[in-house]
Chains A and B, each alone.
Chain A
Amino acid sequence: MDVLMPQLGETVTEGKVIKWFKSAGDAINSGDNLFEIETDKVSMEVPSIEAGVLTEIRVKEGEIAPVGGVVAVIGPPNGAAAPPVASSVPMPVPLAAKPTPAAPKVTAAAASAPRTPLKLGPFEEVRSPKRNFGPAKLPNGVTVTPLARRLAGEGGVALSRLKGSGPHGRIIGGDVEAALSSGAPRTMAPLPAAFADPVKSLYRGVPFEEIALDGMRQIVAARLLEAKQTIPHFYVSADADLERLLTLRDDTNAAAPKDTAGNPAFKLSINDLVIKAFAMALHRVPSANAVWASDRILQFRRVDIGIAVAVDGGLLTPVIRQAETKTVFEISFEMKDLAARARSRRLKPEEYQGGVASVSNLGMYGVSSFSAILNPPQSTILAVGAGQRRPAEIPGGGIRFTTQMTMTLSCDHRVVDGALGAELLTALKSIIENPVSMLI
């Protein structure tokens, strides 16, 4: 076993061995003094608490060891093998939940009930504001009281336009209230209200890593929250038989000319074909080729389709313009370029803005089907699942396995009614199942 440097006093951190009473190899009885130590406060003999043989002296006379450090090792007598020593202290159970003191009992005769004790975490007995409402002194030198700063922040009032009525021209709460009640246009967006602490408080004791939001994550969060909360979504789904589409893809890819290095001139993917098919469907159902614009609908003659591309830390939706006019090969080339630049975050804003619809394909992950959130201001988004072998009834009876794919179309009901959504999806299904039309 290890002989440790004992703690000789609450503030002592190390001890010096000033004398050894035993030498390595000596037989030791329990209670024999081993060595004498000295700290800035005391000196003391340290006895052995085990019998055995002093096998090793690690801290020699005149040397210093930290409290808890191994000073020497005592082996078993007669050279027997030492039993393993469980030395580590079991760790405390992590804090699973904050203690919740019960409310004190109140006698029925109490004149007024005491308020419930506040339930706070052990180190949060006072709740600081979760938000900062800006500096007390404006760039123009005017000072603003905390109340006025909060009212301005919550109401979206620009303090720089206000004249303070308080002492020394200070802007006080009443000045902001007057500005708000006068109906003056708000000149800045109200600050967001949500902050992390309430969420973090639910995971007290659970280890987590805080990940700061980058610009993309903030935009994704804000836009999708807005979309899901403000756009009346509805969803229609259909399965498409992919047999002929796969044959077309394979035949076409097989016919691709090769360069001298043996690389094919093109390699179509199912996704390229779906984009083309969706563009054609939107072109065939022009009422669905439209977006909501607050007080009117904008209907387009051309079809611009966004493609969701997963990138590190988020997603981007570059847009293929006039897809209905492009060949499937052009779409394929353009898609490869856009996806590569999206992943390296080299897209220009105009390359991912606008569009009337989007395609989101999770088929490569084996997903059967899913529903997508609209990418505002677009009015539809197509969620594409994986091609899967499924049983299908064949004409004249009987069952055969074919490759099928589930497509779910999310629609903005303000623009695309149920029947229109169904019409669009049916058109798409028809094109995919009769893919030769894509090449015409």
Chain B
Amino acid sequence: MAELTYRDAVARGIAQEMSRDADVVFLGEDVAKAGGVFKATVGLLEQFGPLRVRDTPISEQAILGAAMGAAMTGLKPIAEIMFSDFIAVCFDYLANEFSKSRYMTNGQVKCPLVVRTGNGGGSRFGAQHSQSVENWCMMIPGLKVVAPSTPRDVIGLLAAAVRDPDPVIFFEHKSLYATKGEVEDGEIVDALGTAKIVRAGSDATILALALMVPRALAAAEKLKAEHGIDCEVIDVRSLVPLDTQTILRSVASTHRLFTVEENPRLCGWGAELVSIVADEAFYHLDGPPVRITTPHIPLPAADFLEDMAMPTVDRICGTVRRSLQA
């Protein structure tokens, strides 16, 4: 057992899988010699050599296209897209190519690859380097979508993603890179499609992802201490496949649902979850499901404005309290 940063967990997770399987290769911009712009891949070039850990030109289409070509002919590439905002530059590969190749070819073409990308706000980078774009990927049949919130989950879910036979988009949160957590020694492999109840509670269920998980937990403690409201917090972890059973079971016991989403409001992942709960668990609800999101705006750069835009502990507390009393 050791304390590890989320950042170091990324390198450990990649190294764990590259050591295990010689077919795992890694490519991206500044990932090899420089160790990544977020220093999340330091040491991999030295450990695995330049044929397996490759710096690419600033060519996002070439990165994802090459990852796909390698995956469909036998390798298990991990590709890094530096900022998740840049997915827009190479969206063809996510939207049209490796997500659909298996279906279109009647099962002939397989693309076991992982796209890692730095996601989310809080770094004062402005509107083009701060977005939470999980929903861009969640809407595409054929992709799997994961977003860990702890160093341990980074390793375990990354291992699961590399070993998964489908293309997985792996969202690392930039504002979590410096956070620390206890991680056991030895190999760690988690399972995709499993949500985690990170705090048990009886009065309301709060769903959160990535950076919003620690905020939801803090809000839950505050609601308990100040208002006696006992919230259950679930780290959704995996948007596709989606662990609806854990969520539906929780709502069946608390009868209230809140989502905490970093994305702008329209078509966020919480909207899909609320719709599932409203449909399947309608008669378990004792009040309307409520979404807490960033307003439907591009993220501003100034620290004060960005902090106000993203869901805060206080906003989560206030919304839950008012909604339960409304």
Kindly state whether residue A126 has any CB partner on chain B within 8 Å. yes
Bound: A117/B144 CA distance, A:
13
Most chain A CB atoms below 10 A, which of B188, B286, B287: B286
Q: Which residue of A lies closest to B278 (CB)?
A: A146
Would you call B241 and A147 a contact (CB within 8 A)?
A: no
A400 at the binding interface (Cβ < 8 Å): no
- Residue interface mask B283-294, A partner, CB < 8 A = 1: 111110000000
Q: Does B255 lie within 8 Å of A147, measured CB to CB?
A: yes
- From 110 to 160 in chain A, residues with beta carbon under 8 angstroms from any chain B beta carbon are 110-115, 117-118, 126-129, 131, 133, 145-150
Q: Using Cβ atoms and an 8 Å threshold, which residues of chain A touch B326?
A: 167
CA of A152 to CA of B262, assembled, Å: 38
Distance, CA A148 to CA B282, complexed state (A): 11
- For B207-251 the 0/1 string (1 means CB < 8 A from A) is 000000000000000000000000000000000010111100000
When chains A and B are docked, how far (Å) is the Cα of A106 from the Cα of B187? 15
A172 interface hit (Cβ, 8 Å): yes
Given known A111-B156, A117-B241, contact A126–B191 (CB-CB < 8 A): no
In the docked arrangement, what's the CA distance between A110 and B283, Å? 35
Q: Give every chain B residue within 8 A of A42 (Cβ-Cβ).
A: none
- Whether A127 and B280, one on each chain, are in contact in the complex, defined by CB atoms closer than 8 angstroms, is yes
List chain B residues, Cβ under 8 A from A112: 190-191, 194
Query: Does A107 count as interface, using CB distance less than 8 angstroms?
Result: yes
CA distance A191 to B80 in the complex (A): 56
Are B280 and A167 in touch, CB under 8 angstroms? Answer: no
How far is A166 from B163 in the complex, measured between Cα atoms in Å?
50
Task: Give the chain B neighbours of A149 by CB distance below 8 A.
Answer: 283
CA distance A29 to B132 in the complex (A): 63
CA distance A149 to B284 in the complex (A): 9
Encode B144-177 as 1/0 by CB contact (under 8 A) with A: 0000000000001000100110000000000000
Within A169-220, which residues are at the interface with B (CB < 8 Å)? 172-174
Asked whether, in the complex, the Cβ of A147 is within 8 Å of the Cβ of B285, the reply is yes
Residues of B with C-beta under 8 A to A80: none
Tell me if B185 is interfacial: C-beta within 8 Å of chain A.
Answer: no
* Size of the chain B interface, CB-CB below 8 angstroms: 30
Q: Given that A115-B243, A167-B325 are known contacts, is A126 also in contact with B280, CB under 8 Å in the complex?
A: yes
| Closest residue of A by beta carbon distance from B188 | A111
Q: A110-B160, A117-B241 are in contact. Are A128 and B189 (CB under 8 A)?
A: no
Q: Does A81 contact B (CB under 8 A)?
A: no
Q: Whole-angstrom distance between the alpha carbons of A167 and B280 in the complex?
A: 25
Contacts of B164 in A (CB 8 A): 104
Residues of B contacting A166 with CB < 8 Å? 286
Contacting residues, chain B, for A439 (C-beta < 8 A): none
CB of B35 within 8 A of chain A? no
Cβ of A109 within 8 Å of any chain B Cβ, yes or no, is yes
Residue numbers in B under 8 Å from A111 (CB-CB): 156, 188-191
Q: How far is the CA of A117 from the CA of B279 in the complex (A)?
A: 18
Q: Provided the pairs A111-B191, A147-B284, A173-B255 are in contact, do residues A127 and B325 lie with their beta carbons within 8 angstroms?
A: no
A127 CA / B275 CA spacing, docked (Å): 11
Nearest residue in B to A127 (C-beta to C-beta)? B280
Judge if B43 is at the interface, Cβ distance under 8 Å. Answer: no
The interface residues of chain B lying within 8 Å CB-to-CB of A131 are 283
Q: Are A110 and B191 in contact (CB under 8 A)?
A: yes
Indicate if the CB atoms of A114 and B194 lie closer than 8 Å: yes
Which residue of chain B has the shortest Cβ distance to A151 in the bound complex? Answer: B283
B276 at the A interface (CB under 8 A)? yes
Residue of B nearest to A115 (CB): B245
Is B193 an interface residue when CB atoms closer than 8 A count as contact?
yes
CB of B133 closer than 8 Å to a CB of A = no
Q: Is the CB of B280 within 8 A of A110?
A: no
Having A111-B156, A146-B282, one finds 8 other A-B pairs with CB under 8 Å, namely A110-B160, A114-B191, A114-B193, A117-B193, A129-B280, A129-B283, A145-B286, A147-B255
Q: Which 7 A-B pairs have the closest CB atoms?
A: A150-B283, A109-B189, A114-B193, A114-B191, A147-B286, A110-B191, A145-B286
